Structure 1
Amino acid sequence: MAREVRTVLDVKPYREALALPGLWPLLLVAILARVPVAATAVVMTLHVLDLGHRYFAAGLVGAAMTVGSALGAPLLGRLVDRRGLRPMLLLTTAVSALFWGTAPVLPYPVLLGAAFVGGLLTLPVFSVVRQSIAALVPPAQRRQAYALDSMSVELSFMVGPAGAVALATSLSPTLTMYAVGGGIVLAGLTLLVLNPPTRARDEETTPARALPRRQWLTPRLIGLLAGGAAGTLVIAGIDVSVVAVLRDAGQVDWTGVVLALWAACSLIGGFIYGALSRPVPSLILTLVLGLVTIPVGLGSGQWWLLALMLLPSGAFTAPTVAATADAVSRLVPASVRGEAMGLHGSAMVVGVAVGAPLAGAVIDASAPAWGFVATGLLGALITLAVLPTGLRHRRSATPTAASPPESTESAPVRSSI
């Protein structure tokens, strides 16, 4: 039995991936850079409330930043493809310094417009790191690298929002705004110094050329992006529904514990996914994530029962994010990987932007437990809708593969959906 478990779970690829030049520093910088980014939504909400406005006004600012970042991510990725990483980092770091340096003193109407511009040109830490992983890591070890990246995201979100709340309550929301902004600017400067590659060495020898989107924005890629959006829709819905359920049960003090257990289970799930001897298609993972989320509301009576019901969804959270990023990175040529990873980031943002208000609307209209049902069911239905496209194209050659290849690493693989 022990031998069978070792056959299914193999940690050796993790050691080999971390031994690759440049990956360990990139993952370390990614954790530190994502902490202030993870705190952005919380600190902005606290700041708007401190100005005397209500939650709706705070939500509008968050929505403006979300829409801006969703629109800007592929444009910034295209800039990386055409001009390289450093020009994009210089632009977004300068804009971040300007936005966060002035946002705490802006009146609300001006802040609302500035939030959109700040989101449009925000530092795309997530996309940059994932694009660099594709350049640093050979295809055979990319699944483990993206699993490590997904686990690092969980660590950042465990630290960032909680740290922002603690700083805001002990000092002030305004000072916390400056601290978060300073952290984002420092992250940009650190990435400028590190300057991680965005293409592998053999890919850099290929002349850059602008491929028409119809050659790489294939039905399979669109299905993967839709699946990524469905995954974050479910994750955002869980986040809101947990708070609502515990508040309704008079156990809101246990919110941090429940969310921490959920995140810890996600870390374990991400590690197991990377250690599997065979990869699991990303759309299958997203489908299972949606399905296991539907019954979570059955544990709404006690916090410990809710935490227990959340364990399956937690186990599929990090693997879903990792598998989607891995599949997108493999499916497109290196010359457009920046734009493609930007689209991937936009899809993830859109999922969050839909999932949180959807869960809130359902909860307001019915009961907190139905937030899990609504977002889990919608995420599963979206995945089922695009799953046939992914399965149909899994074994067939895509337009990207039919075009002149830029490297062997950009060819789609059978197991990546």
Structure 2
Amino acid sequence: MNFASYGELLRVAPIRRLLLVGMIARFPHSAAGVLLTLHVVMTMDMGYAKAGAVAAVVTVGIAFGAPWRGRRVDNVGLRRALIPSVISEAVIWSIAPHASYEWLLVLALIGGVFTLPVFSVVRQSLGVMATGEQRRTAFALDSIATELVFMGGPALGAILATSLSSVVGLTLVGISTSLAGLLLIWFNPPTRSENPQKAATEVQEREAANAAVVAAAPAHLAEASSELQPLAVLSRRARLRSGFSWFTLSVAVVFAVAVGAGLLLSSSDVGIVALVESSGNPQEVGIVFAAWCAASVVGGLIYGGMRRRISPMLLLLAMAVLTLPMALATDTISLALLSIPAGLLCAPVLSSASERVADLVSEERRGEAMGWYGSALTSGTALGAPLAGAAIDIVGPWAGFAFAGVSASLLVLVTLTVRKFSRRGERLSAV
């Protein structure tokens, strides 16, 4: 363990400022999930399956929008890329709470597409400002900061929905997020290295390594890869043709982890709201989120101080298994206590996966890769929320946690099996 690395990193003013701005920008949307769920269930008097469908539509929009937003950041810079989000956040979430359920779905989709891309921007910028082993600590700090936000955001959302109005709460989310976007535009954290020559050298080294593998490969593989050239001589057309060359089997495995993590977290999120609301005290939902997120903070601190890497796939499997006991909870306090073991692994899963993407993808493609990583994460969320909501409506609140743990565990096992057979096939083709 090397906990001194946290102090060293926080003494770097731009990193410290980025983490703080990221926390502020994330806070409104940390309340949005609970607000949307309670708006559909309580204000609109509909079930958890329909509430989960709204959450799913938002995340589908984010999944479609994230790669495009990441590419815009790469191509036109952060400030110009954020302008559509600043405008749409204020407009969409001021209108959506007053709409019918059908129009709420449409507006939720549009809102998702133009969501302020805080996650990918912060992670991309940290990947530039922190290098080597510092990245693990930086990503862990970002995950910890996110958990601190989620310790307060959902509680505030529940209080706004139950004590004031979910309509007012969602409107405040839109306006606050828009203001957070303006703050990010003002701060304008770096998304590209200040030393382009160094970044280009890193990419050239990766291309040279690819060329060496192709040269040593059997004839049919070399023929299939004959268009690979060093970065210095690639034409614009060749660059477009090889636009997804960064998407390897290893990257695909990390994206599978992101899908599983999104599914696990969104299903647990709906399950927590459903169980606490069924007890007749929906305002107590903040107690469970606080315990869950506090555990994640502790887990993130421990993981960020570790010197050896742990596979994100193994971390996700452990978290899925530890989510299952949450189905045994009978009230708010027991659920809060049972959420702690799974919560301990939340930040490590996300930190480990982000670090892996940063290691596997070159800097010039990292914005797009982080966008696709975010899409994988939100796609899992889109799958988990409505399915868990349906299970809750049919069986009961405990079914949300059972669905979450079993589904994420199965995804890990299937992914590990596919990777094993893929690698075996690669070895046989190389003989």
**Partner in structure 2 of residue 281 of structure 1:** 311
| Alpha-carbon distance, 1:205 to partner | 6.4
1:96 corresponds to 2:89 = yes
For 1:26, what is the secondary structure of its paired residue?
A: helix
| Alpha-carbon distance, 1:96 to partner | 2.1
| Alpha-carbon distance, 1:359 to partner | 2.7
From 244, 250, 268, the counterpart of 2:298: 268
| Alpha-carbon distance, 1:303 to partner | 4.9
| Alpha-carbon distance, 1:390 to partner | 6.4
Verify the 8 A CA contact 2:263 2:384 in the aligned structure 1.
yes
Say which is worse superposed, 230-239 or 41-50, in terms of deviation: 41-50
Which protein has greater RCO, CA pairs closer than 8 Å, 6+ apart?
A: 2
From 189, 192, 196, the counterpart of 1:199: 192
| Alpha-carbon distance, 1:246 to partner | 5.3
Verify the 8 A CA contact 1:234 1:355 in the aligned structure 2.
yes
1:13 corresponds to 2:5 = yes
Verify the 8 A CA contact 1:224 1:390 in the aligned structure 2.
no
Map 1:213-232 to 2 at 5 A.
213-232=243-262
- Runs (5+) with no aligned partner, structure 1: 1-8, 395-417
For 1:139, what is the secondary structure of its paired residue?
A: coil
Map 1:312-323 to 2 at 5 A.
312-323=341-352
- Runs (5+) with no aligned partner, structure 2: 201-230, 424-431
Say which is worse superposed, 299-308 or 125-134, in terms of deviation: 299-308
From 378, 388, 395, the counterpart of 2:407: 378
1:350 is aligned with what amino acid? Answer: S
Q: Distance in 2 between matches of 1:245 and 1:116?
A: 27
For 1:230, what is the secondary structure of its paired residue?
A: helix
| Alpha-carbon distance, 1:364 to partner | 4.1
Q: Distance in 2 between matches of 1:247 and 1:177?
A: 19
1:220 is aligned with what amino acid? Answer: S
From 355, 379, 393, the counterpart of 1:326: 355
2:294 is aligned with what amino acid? Answer: A
| Alpha-carbon distance, 1:120 to partner | 1.0
Map 1:266-415 to 2 at 5 A.
266-297=296-327, 299-301=328-330, 303-387=332-416
1:26 corresponds to 2:18 = yes
Q: Distance in 2 between matches of 1:168 and 1:369?
A: 23
Map 1:71-86 to 2 at 5 A.
71-86=64-79
From 86, 110, 117, the counterpart of 1:117: 110
1:145 is aligned with what amino acid? Answer: A
Verify the 8 A CA contact 2:91 2:174 in the aligned structure 1.
no
For 1:123, what is the secondary structure of its paired residue?
A: coil
For 1:201, what is the secondary structure of its paired residue?
A: coil
From 162, 168, 171, the counterpart of 1:175: 168
From 48, 56, 62, the counterpart of 2:55: 62
What do residues 128-176 of structure 1 show as CA deviations (whole Å, max 9, x unaligned)? 1111110111122011111111111112222222223323444433332
From 166, 180, 184, the counterpart of 1:187: 180
1:158 corresponds to 2:158 = no
Q: Distance in 1 between matches of 2:164 and 2:302?
A: 40
What do residues 350-394 of structure 1 show as CA deviations (whole Å, max 9, x unaligned)? 222222333333344445444333321221221222236668999
| Alpha-carbon distance, 1:227 to partner | 0.8
1:17 is aligned with what amino acid? Answer: L
| Alpha-carbon distance, 1:329 to partner | 1.8
Q: Distance in 2 between matches of 1:393 and 1:288?
A: 24
Say which is worse superposed, 47-56 or 71-80, in terms of deviation: 47-56
Q: Distance in 2 between matches of 1:16 and 1:389?
A: 40
From 117, 140, 154, the counterpart of 1:147: 140
**Partner in structure 2 of residue 236 of structure 1:** 266
Say which is worse superposed, 21-30 or 240-249, in terms of deviation: 240-249
Q: Distance in 1 between matches of 2:157 and 2:397?
A: 26
What do residues 153-200 of structure 1 show as CA deviations (whole Å, max 9, x unaligned)? 112222222223323444433332332111111111011011001122
Say which is worse superposed, 277-286 or 143-152, in terms of deviation: 277-286
1:23/1:253 Cα in 2 relative to 1: closer, same or farther (>3 Å)?
Answer: closer
Verify the 8 A CA contact 1:38 1:157 in the aligned structure 2.
yes
Identity of aligned residues (%): 40
Given the two structures, how large is their TM-score scaled by the length of structure 2?
Answer: 0.80
Aligned residues: 386
1:285 is aligned with what amino acid? Answer: L
Q: Distance in 2 between matches of 1:65 and 1:245?
A: 23
1:302/1:35 Cα in 2 relative to 1: closer, same or farther (>3 Å)?
Answer: closer
1:96/1:317 Cα in 2 relative to 1: closer, same or farther (>3 Å)?
Answer: same
1:190/1:392 Cα in 2 relative to 1: closer, same or farther (>3 Å)?
Answer: farther
1:108/1:309 Cα in 2 relative to 1: closer, same or farther (>3 Å)?
Answer: closer
Root-mean-square deviation (CA, aligned residues, Å) is: 3.0
1:153/1:248 Cα in 2 relative to 1: closer, same or farther (>3 Å)?
Answer: same
1:43 is aligned with what amino acid? Answer: L
Say which is worse superposed, 11-20 or 255-264, in terms of deviation: 255-264
Verify the 8 A CA contact 1:203 1:334 in the aligned structure 2.
no
1:26/1:59 Cα in 2 relative to 1: closer, same or farther (>3 Å)?
Answer: same
1:58/1:308 Cα in 2 relative to 1: closer, same or farther (>3 Å)?
Answer: closer
Q: Distance in 1 between matches of 2:330 and 2:155?
A: 25
For 2:195, what is the secondary structure of its paired residue?
A: helix
| Alpha-carbon distance, 1:50 to partner | 7.5
Q: Distance in 1 between matches of 2:397 and 2:108?
A: 30
Q: Distance in 2 between matches of 1:341 and 1:67?
A: 16
For 1:279, what is the secondary structure of its paired residue?
A: coil
Verify the 8 A CA contact 2:159 2:283 in the aligned structure 1.
no
